[in-house]
Amino acid sequence: MQYALLNRFQATLLGAVLGEMVGETSDETWRQPAQGTRTQLPSSFNWRTIAPSPTLPLQTLTQFYLQDLLQPSASFSEIAASPEATGQAAIALLPTLLFFHEDRLKLWKQLRQAVDRLQNSSIDLLGVYAIGSTIVEILHERFDPLTLIPQLLSTLKPLDHQHQAPLIEQLQQVQTLLEQQAGLEAALRLIPRRSEQTVAIALYCFLSTPEDFGLALMRAARSGRQVAVVCTIVGALSGAHNGLNGITIAGRLAADSWQLTTGEARSQSELLNQADRLLALWSGVYNPTLGDRSTYAVAAPQVIRKFG
């Protein structure tokens, strides 16, 4: 189903937050949040949209916002070497994945620059790019769960110059699982645990149930492997695909019952406002934080009207 780009931007960020909630709690409390309580969510990402002086020149202001996108959070620079580092990097760079969805070449260059600055050998750049490419297909309304993996493989193989990326083999296994309509237990047996597999597991959980946001999250929560990271990625992808309408009312209420720690956002409305600003910046707005408070008098042309 086609959704407005703003709707998908908002659902991507909100879906990631709900995914992390499921991953952190490992249960279904997000479906029935406690009334009148706000529990703090120890977020692994910290997106922010900060506002410089609106008097800055256009080129300087645009560069300012782009630099902020490329360094989306303090937690991004603190990613430690671990099996889930690739997934954590993809989560921290979600604003970048959304912003550069129109141009794969620019997206690849920006991701490579961001990952190179970390100097963290445990981050698989191809894995981050695979998540970004999936978002690209979704936002361009070209997403097909049965053909996505072959498209990813045709994109990633030329970039794997040493032909040693374990992700390539894992994606081939995911495609086999999808074609056989295999269950989660079969997927966990087939995808090896010896290497980084959060991206492959997340893609399997999403692609096996792309139209059901809640079911995809529950499947990710039961994967037993880097659950918080896998659930967050699945939430972002499923949110981008299904839009805000695909997130249940219970899920939306759950987001309000948790105290978010994503940068400036402390509530669901503030998180959605960050998506508004991100889309405005992508659209070329000079200052996405500047509200228009002007009052306009509008009338039909060439009509004489009496005032006073």
pLDDT tens for the chain, 308 residues: list them.
688 999 999 999 999 989 988 888 764 444 444 444 444 444 445 554 434 444 444 444 455 555 554 454 545 666 767 778 898 889 988 988 999 999 999 999 989 988 888 787 888 999 999 999 999 999 999 999 999 999 999 999 998 877 677 899 999 999 999 999 999 888 888 887 655 789 999 999 999 999 999 999 999 999 887 898 999 999 999 999 999 999 988 888 877 766 555 455 567 888 888 888 888 888 877 666 665 555 555 666 666 655 55
Would you say how long the chain is, in residues?
A: 308
Q: Strand, coil or helix: what is 182?
A: coil
Rounded to the nearest 5 degrees, what angle is found at the Cα of 98, between the Cα atoms of 213 and 179? 45
Distances (CA, A) of 210 to 66, 95, 178, 185, 224: 31, 22, 12, 18, 20
User: How far, in whole angstroms, is CA 112 from its chain's centroid?
Assistant: 17
Q: Does pTM surpass 0.75? A: yes
Quick check: 205 and 23 in contact, CB under 8 A?
A: no
Rounded to the nearest 5 degrees, what angle is found at the Cα of 112, between the Cα atoms of 82 and 232? 50
Where do the structural domains in the chain lie, given as residue ranges?
5-283
Give the per-residue pLDDT at 123. 87
Distances (CA, A) of 216 to 57, 81, 201, 211: 45, 27, 11, 8
- Helix (H) or strand (E) holding 11, with range, is helix 5-25
Give the per-residue pLDDT at 127. 94
Fold of 5-283: ADP-ribosylglycohydrolase fold (1.10.4080)
At 176, list the tokens: 């086999």
Rounded Cα distance, 236 and 233, in Å:
5
Phi and psi angles of residue 259, each rounded to the nearest 5 degrees, phi first: -85, 110
